[in-house]
């Protein structure tokens, strides 16, 4: 089978490489620089196993900027929220569908992997494909959203179960043949149902993180340590309270709930959860500035990736946090063991801490668990720490002379 994959980003490129193990694949991207880099082996994503897989499939994988005829077309273009309107931006999906329509033939399969609002396949994509002169049924169509997280993308693409929304039995059979690399169980449903399922999954995470964050704010008011309380609550066999933090980042969980909320008139909880999670950045900044006092003072942000162990900074809460601190008059420095470039250039830890008035752990990188507080205290102007992720051993840091605040711990400082 010949396969064209449209979009060579965080999901599209790994998908194309996995497909190239069993099929002849051409990766299509509108960015000439990205195509040139991929062709040269300079891959735009940092994921375990991707470089090796790229090397393994060189005989069956190539890249181009122009759409080509193929037996199967897989659209994996980004679907962000438009910055100016906060509305789903489906322009890349629309453009890719138009490109496919230009080369679509009878009996081709088209798969949309991009996460989209319910109804996008049948209301937007399929009509564009039918502009080719073919009717749905003369070509096959499926929606097959990925389930993968940064740091484990290849593993989860292979091992996780998949939900596939299809037009008909032929579309299902052809999609199963295409995704032969998937070892997890494939569950078939309708197109709109599959779109809905993907959004449910990430919305579930967002709502439950919001509950954890609200517990953290309450615990600070009530003089309770939310982290100890959470551990005890989770001893209940039907309770699983998630970890609170300074906000939610990443492309999916911050975006997908709004794809649902904006599509219907019955939303209440989803938008409220979004508001709670967005408010945590401001709460973290207020906690930091209370420790810092009035400017001038220096805040060192430890971690700008949106989650621990990765270099992905998409929609990270670290960005609005540091911008708000800068706007309040504070000097901000940044350290991250995984991120090389950011809005504020990351520095080596010793330089970022030198003369600083407060460290703020914003990302739960493993490296921060083993930091030496005694060595850092000697470099800082004033040894203060805000731990928004409950990463460090607070008592150990206090023994080293630090004033420590942990988000959600109302027992350590009554002024919280």
Q: Which of 144, 228, 252, 307 is catalytic?
A: 252
**401 conformational bin, left if phi > 0, alpha if psi -120 to 50, beta if neither:** left
How far apart CA 29 and CA 42 sit, in angstroms, is 15
Helices (H) and strands (E) in the chain, counts: 16, 13
**Is 198 assigned a catalytic role?**
yes
Cα(77)–Cα(84) distance, integer angstroms:
20
Residue 356 CB partners (closer than 8 Å, separation 6+):
298, 299, 300, 333, 379, 380, 381
Catalytic residue among 198, 228, 307, 358: 198
Report the distance separating Cα 36 and Cα 139, nearest Å: 32
Contact status, residue 308 vs residue 365, Cβ threshold 8 Å: yes
Reference 25, options 48, 42, 8, 46; nearest CA is: 8
Cβ-based neighbour number of residue 82 at 10 Å: 11
- Calculate Rg over the CA atoms of the chain: 24
Cα distance between residue 197 and residue 145, in whole Å: 9
- Is residue 144 among the annotated active site residues? no
Q: Are 363 and 337 in contact (CB under 8 A)?
A: no
Give me the residue label for tokens 């975006």.
255
CA pair distance 141, 143, nearest whole angstrom: 7
Strand, helix or coil for residue 277: helix
Question: Tokens 């980004």 correspond to what residue?
Answer: 78
- State the catalytic residues: 198, 252
């Amino acid at each position: 089978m010949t396969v064209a994959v449209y979009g060579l980003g965080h999901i599209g490129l790994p998908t194309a490489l996995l497909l190239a193990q069993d099929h002849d694949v051409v990766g299509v991207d509108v960015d000439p620089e990205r195509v040139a880099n991929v062709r040269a082996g300079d891959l735009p994503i940092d994921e375990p196993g991707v470089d090796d897989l790229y090397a393994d499939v060189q005989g069956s994988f190539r890249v181009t900027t122009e759409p080509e005829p193929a037996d199967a077309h897989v659209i994996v273009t980004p679907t962000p929220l438009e910055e100016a309107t906060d509305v789903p931006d489906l322009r890349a999906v629309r453009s890719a569908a138009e490109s496919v329509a230009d080369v679509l033939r009878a009996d081709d399969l088209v798969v949309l992997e991009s996460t989209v609002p319910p109804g996008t396949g049948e209301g937007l994509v399929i009509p564009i494909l039918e502009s080719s002169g073919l009717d749905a049924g003369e070509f096959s169509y499926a929606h097959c959203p990925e389930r993968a997280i940064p740091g484990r993308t290849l593993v989860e693409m292979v091992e996780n179960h998949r939900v596939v929304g299809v037009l008909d039995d032929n579309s299902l059979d052809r999609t199963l043949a295409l995704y032969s690399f998937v070892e997890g169980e494939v569950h078939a449903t309708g197109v709109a149902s599959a779109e809905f399922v993907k959004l449910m999954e990430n919305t579930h995470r967002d709502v439950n993180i919001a509950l954890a964050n609200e517990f953290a704010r309450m615990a600070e008011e009530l003089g309770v340590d939310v982290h100890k309380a959470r551990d005890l609550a989770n001893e209940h066999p039907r309770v699983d309270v998630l970890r609170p933090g300074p906000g939610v980042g990443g492309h999916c969980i911050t975006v997908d709930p709004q794809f649902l909320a904006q599509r219907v008139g019955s939303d209440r909880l989803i938008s409220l959860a979004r508001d709670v999670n967005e408010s945590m950045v401001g709460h973290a900044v207020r906690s930091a500035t209370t420790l810092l006092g009035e400017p001038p003072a220096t805040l060192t942000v430890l971690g700008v990736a949106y989650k621990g162990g990765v270099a992905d900074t998409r929609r990270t809460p670290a960005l609005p946090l540091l911008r708000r601190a800068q706007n309040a008059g504070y000097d901000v420095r940044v350290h991250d063991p995984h991120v090389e470039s950011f809005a504020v250039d990351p520095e080596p830890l010793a330089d970022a801490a030198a003369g600083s008035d407060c460290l703020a752990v914003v990302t739960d990188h493993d490296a921060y668990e083993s930091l030496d507080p005694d060595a850092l205290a000697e470099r800082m102007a004033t040894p203060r720490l805000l731990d928004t992720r409950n990463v460090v051993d607070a008592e150990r840091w206090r023994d080293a002379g630090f004033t420590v605040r942990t988000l959600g711990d109302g027992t350590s400082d009554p002024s919280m």
